[in-house]
Amino acid sequence: MYSGRMSTSERLIESTRELLWERGYVGTSPKAILERSGAGQGSMYHHFRGKQDLALAAIRRSADELGAAAERIFDGPGTPYERIEAYLLRERDVLRGCPVGRLTMDPEVIASDELRAPVDEVIARIRGRIAELVEEGKRQGRFAAALDGAEIGAAVLATVQGGYVLARASGSPEAFDAGVRGLLSLLAPPTSATGK
Whole-prediction pTM: 0.90
From residue 173, how far is each of 44, 95, 167 by CA, in Å?
A: 37, 6, 5
DSSP string, 10-26: HHHHHHHHHHHHHHTTT
pLDDT, residue 196, reads 42
Give the tens place of pLDDT for each residue, 64-108: 999 999 999 999 999 999 999 999 999 999 999 999 999 999 999
Radius of gyration, alpha carbons of the chain: 19
What single letter denotes the amino acid at residue 56? L
- Could you give the percent of the chain with pLDDT greater than 90? 89
Q: What are the structural domain ranges in the chain?
A: 59-187
Residue 2 pLDDT more than 50?
yes
pLDDT, residue 193, reads 42
What does the mean pLDDT of the chain come to?
93
**Domain 59-187 coded CATH 1.10.357.10:** yes
Give the tens place of pLDDT for each residue, 124-143: 999 999 999 999 999 999 99
